Amino acid sequence: MDLAIEEMSLSGWPALQTEVYDGWLLRFAEGWTKRSNSVNPLYASTIELGGKIRDCEKAYASRGLPTVFKILGSEAHEELDAALAERGYARIDETAVRTLDLSELRGSAGAAAPGRAFEAPGDGAASAAVGLSERFEDAWVDAFCACSRSEARRGTIGRILAKVSVDKLVAAASAGGGILGCGYGALERDWVGLFDIVVREEERRKGHGERIVRAILGGAAAKGARKSYLQVVSGNAPAERLYSRLGFSEAYRYWYRRKDSS
């Protein structure tokens, strides 16, 4: 289960460049998100650990990036985790991977058909509607960058999203001709992975995030998906409450180790 979800999550949020090194995946994307700029030690390793870590450090340093490792909370990663800690790598951003059987989704899924327009008439949260598309339109990418305050990274984000090769459901909550919140689902095997559910700061706590998630899950179920996974950073209380309310349960955890710059 862990390996399958990890592999699917790599497809759901790709890097701009990936190098395979003795069972480890070194991902690079101009520094945008740790997810796409980290070492993912997914498969068996044969090279001496210390030398291999140093080689990874050189690879990231050559691109002007910090060296970051993604560590799964499993016995297979205990030795690496300890070795990184000894080398001054800080443990950051512990994250829970949660899963859901879509037949057990709590409440109405609120399915929306792909192809609905992102804009909707009216004004305010009460009239907000969720539209679904099967591609990343420019208006959605612009809105995503605005919602996540990442406009300066628009070019990098656009190139990353252009590399998503799996089927997808791209959702936007809209009202008054503008997009209030975004998210998308990556469809692979019989799963839908939820990625980057984000709402404009002034529109938060109005239910837009839940409507976006339910629309994606409903659309995915209509396309044959049976299960869903997502990743939520520990301590993100609003997101944790939402996903618990929908019925998602924790499957495993991971965290990152980042080289201490001091």
In tens, the pLDDT along 89-134 reads: 999 999 999 999 999 998 764 444 455 444 433 344 445 799 999 9
pLDDT tens per residue, range 236-252 = 999 999 999 999 999 99
User: Region 11-32: what's the mean pLDDT?
Assistant: 97
Position 89 scores a pLDDT of: 97
pTM for the model: 0.90
Position 119 scores a pLDDT of: 40
- Distance of CA 108 to CAs 43, 54, 105, 213, 254, Å? 39, 51, 8, 11, 30
Position 146 scores a pLDDT of: 95
Cα 232–Cα 89–Cα 60 angle in degrees, nearest 5:
90
Position 127 scores a pLDDT of: 58
Q: In which band, very low, low, confident or very high, does the pLDDT at 257 lie, cut at 50, 70 and 90?
A: very high
Residue 45 has pLDDT above 50, yes or no: yes
User: Region 78-95: what's the mean pLDDT?
Assistant: 97
Superfamily of domain 100-253: Gcn5-related N-acetyltransferase (GNAT) (3.40.630.30)
Position 114 scores a pLDDT of: 52
